[in-house]
Structure 1
Amino acid sequence: MLKRLKLDTKLLREMDFSILIATILIVLFGIVNIYAAMKPDVSDAKKQLLWFGVSLVVLYFILLVDYNILRGFAPILYWGSIVLLIYTRFMGATINGARGWIKVGGLFSIQASELAKVAIIFMLAKKLDEMELKVNNLKNFMILAAYTLVPVALIVIQPDMGMTMVCFFIVLGIFFCAGLDMRIILGGLTSLVFGIILLWNSGLIEPYQKRRLVSFLNPEADELGSGLQLMQSMTGIGSGGFFGTGFKFSQDSSTSYVGQFVPEKQTDFIFAVIGEHWGTIGAIVLLILYGIIVYRTIRTARVSKDIFGSMICVGMASYFLFAILQNVGMTIGIMPITGITLPLVSYGGSSLLTTMMSIALIINIGMRKKKINF
């Protein structure tokens, strides 16, 4: 029994430790910044540390199983996420204007769309493998589009614009790397623009949410309203300078600018905490660690022994690239403010768990990129 719970040394030699180490460093850095953002209330930091421990256990068990065996669970994961999204629509808790959370025993919440994000990647990878990348076949394309639209539509009506954008760019990255005709991709982008216009005028998005989304264009116009969060974020990041104001475990968040004045500082605006305490140098180090994960993920996609593994890596690389650009961009005023968190750093158990599961799959794919004779 114990032998089954031990990774074979031949597989260990194939493991990409750079992704694992970069991931662990980013998560620990995130927990430190959640602590800095919320102290003296350290409950969020403790919960994130607990989720990290759970995620490491799940990561290890995923590494034990050949990812080709896991592909058989793709339909279960996909349809399970659909059921959770439907349940969330009618029974979920509303946080920040979106009904997207499932309360579990009053102790913690699960964001169903985080699971759906991974399920979309998993299902598209499985189908593209079965289709042998014949994505320009009309029937195949319609099947892939249907698998994408069902969960995305359920996310749109929450409404969760941030996760909708994440899913769109994940699918765009997968379709592009699968070889979808550029005319179809451009048509899809055009349809997205019209879709945003329709959604904007549908009544699903509340007026205050609209103001928040466009506030980055001119935050000074409403410094005490929709532009407040962005203005305070940029001030906090600016105060950090190149080396930051420093970090002390004994220091309360009330002594820092971001800790006092930036809402959602432990989630959406965690980068403002990083900018203030660690400065430009801290932000650069974080982005370098992200760069290692993205680069090694793309490399794993290139050397994967099958389409299924390659497309999973492409989907995750697309997620990381967009989520990092969007989250960092919105804290410094170059992107609209959405509910997209900073991967592995922002507070959120379901986000951390699903992202760690996906990274485990990437490592798993790299470990089994070639046949190993036992």
Structure 2
Amino acid sequence: MLKRLKLDTKLLREMDFSILIATILIVLFGILNIYAAMRPDNSDAKKQLIWFGVSLVVMYFIILIDYNILRNFVPILYWISILLLIYTKFMGATINGATGWIKIGSLFQIQASEVAKMALIFMLAKKMDEMELKVNNLKNFMILAAYTLLPVALIVIEPDMGMTMVCFFIVLGIFFCAGLDIRIIVGGLSSLVVGIMLLWNSGLIEAYQKRRLVSFLNPEADELGAGLQLMQSMTGIGSGGLFGTGLKLSQDAGTSYVGQFVPEKQTDFIFAVIGEHWGTIGAIVLLILYGILIYRTIKTARNSKDVFGSIICVGMASYFLFAILQNIGMTIGIMPITGITLPLVSYGGSSLLTTVMSISLIINIGMRKKKINF
């Protein structure tokens, strides 16, 4: 029994330790900044640390099993995620205007859309593998579109515009790398613009959410309202300068500008905490770690022995690229303010767990690679 729980030495030699190390460093850096943002209350940092411990245990078991066995459970995960989205719409907890969380006791909560995001990547990977990447076949394309639209539609009506955008760009990255006709991609982008216009006037998006989304264009116009969060975020980041103000963990949260004045600093605006305490140098170090993670993920995609493994890696690389750009961009005023968190850094147990599980699969795929042209 114990032998089954031991990782094969030959496989261990194939492990991409750069992905593992980069992931661990990013998460620990995130926990440190969550603590810095919320001090003297360290409950969020403690919960994030617990979630990380759970994630590492899950990671080990995922790495043990050949990912080709795990693909058999993809449909189950996909349909469970659909049921979770439906459940949260009617029975879930509402946070910041979106009904997308399932509470577990009084301490923990799971965001259903985080599970659905990963389930969508896995399902598209499984289907494209079965289709042998023939995504320009009309029947195949319609099947893939149906699997995509079902969870995305449920996320839209939560409403969760941030996660909707994430899913769209994940699917866009997957279809592009799978060789979908560029005319279809352009048509999809055009449809997105039309869809956003219809959604904007549908009544699903509240007036305060609209003001928040467009506030980045002119935050000074409503400094005490929709533009407050962005103005305070940019002030905090600017105060960090090149080297940052440093961490003064023994002092009260009031000594930190971001900790005192920026709402949602442990989640959506965690980069403002990083900018203030660590400065430009700290932000660059974080981006280098992300760069290593994305580069090695893309390399794993190219070296995967099958389409299933390649598409999972492409989907995760697409997620990281968009989420990092969007999250950092919204804290410095170049992107609209949405609920997109900074991967592996922002506070959120379900987000951390699902992301680490997906990274575990990337490591798994790399350990069992066989050169193919992709």
Indicate the residue corresponding to 1:237 in structure 2.
237
Query: Offset of 1:254 from its aligned partner?
Result: 1.2
Indicate the residue corresponding to 1:110 in structure 2.
110
Indicate the residue corresponding to 2:143 in structure 1.
143
Distance 2:60 2:74 in 1: 19
Matches within 5 A, 1:168-207: 168-207=168-207
Is 1:69 matched up with 2:59? no
Distance 1:325 1:252 in 2: 31
Distance 1:279 1:332 in 2: 13
Is 1:217 matched up with 2:240? no
Indicate the residue corresponding to 2:28 in structure 1.
28
* DSSP 3-state at the match of 2:214: helix
Matches within 5 A, 1:293-372: 293-370=293-370
Query: Offset of 1:279 from its aligned partner?
Result: 0.1
* DSSP 3-state at the match of 1:350: helix
Partner deviation per Cα, 1:130-151 (whole Å, 9 max, x = no partner): 0000000000000000000000
Distance 2:28 2:250 in 1: 18
Query: Offset of 1:102 from its aligned partner?
Result: 0.6
Q: In structure 2, what residue type is equivalent to 1:141?
A: F
Distance 1:342 1:195 in 2: 26
Q: In structure 2, what residue type is equivalent to 1:278?
A: W
Query: Offset of 1:237 from its aligned partner?
Result: 0.0
Alignment TM-score, normalising by the size of structure 2 = 0.99
For the Cα contact (< 8 Å) 1:327–1:342, is it kept in 2? yes
* DSSP 3-state at the match of 1:29: helix
Matches within 5 A, 1:208-287: 208-287=208-287
Matches within 5 A, 1:16-55: 16-55=16-55
Alignment TM-score, normalising by the size of structure 1 = 0.99
Query: Offset of 1:248 from its aligned partner?
Result: 2.7
Q: In structure 2, what residue type is equivalent to 1:213?
A: L
For the Cα contact (< 8 Å) 1:36–1:252, is it kept in 2? no
Partner deviation per Cα, 1:154-186 (whole Å, 9 max, x = no partner): 000000000000000000000000000000000
Query: Offset of 1:38 from its aligned partner?
Result: 0.3
Distance 2:271 2:233 in 1: 9
Query: Offset of 1:366 from its aligned partner?
Result: 0.1
Distance 1:311 1:325 in 2: 21
Query: Offset of 1:251 from its aligned partner?
Result: 2.7
Displaced runs of 4 or more, over 3 A: none
* DSSP 3-state at the match of 1:365: helix
Indicate the residue corresponding to 2:89 in structure 1.
89
Distance 1:154 1:104 in 2: 21
Indicate the residue corresponding to 1:60 in structure 2.
60
Distance 1:261 1:6 in 2: 49
Distance 2:358 2:324 in 1: 16
Between 1:340-349 and 1:243-252, the stretch displaced more is: 243-252
Indicate the residue corresponding to 1:154 in structure 2.
154
Query: Offset of 1:348 from its aligned partner?
Result: 0.2
* DSSP 3-state at the match of 1:338: coil
Show structure 1 runs of 5+ residues with no match.
Answer: none
Partner deviation per Cα, 1:206-235 (whole Å, 9 max, x = no partner): 000000000000000000000000000000
Distance 2:275 2:83 in 1: 39
Q: In structure 1, what residue type is equivalent to 2:213?
A: L
Distance 2:46 2:249 in 1: 14
Partner deviation per Cα, 1:245-284 (whole Å, 9 max, x = no partner): 0013313221011011000000000000000000000000
Distance 2:107 2:86 in 1: 22
**Percent of aligned positions that are identical:** 88
For the Cα contact (< 8 Å) 1:240–1:280, is it kept in 2? yes
For the Cα contact (< 8 Å) 1:270–1:342, is it kept in 2? yes
* DSSP 3-state at the match of 2:110: strand
Show structure 2 runs of 5+ residues with no match.
Answer: none
Distance 1:135 1:293 in 2: 28
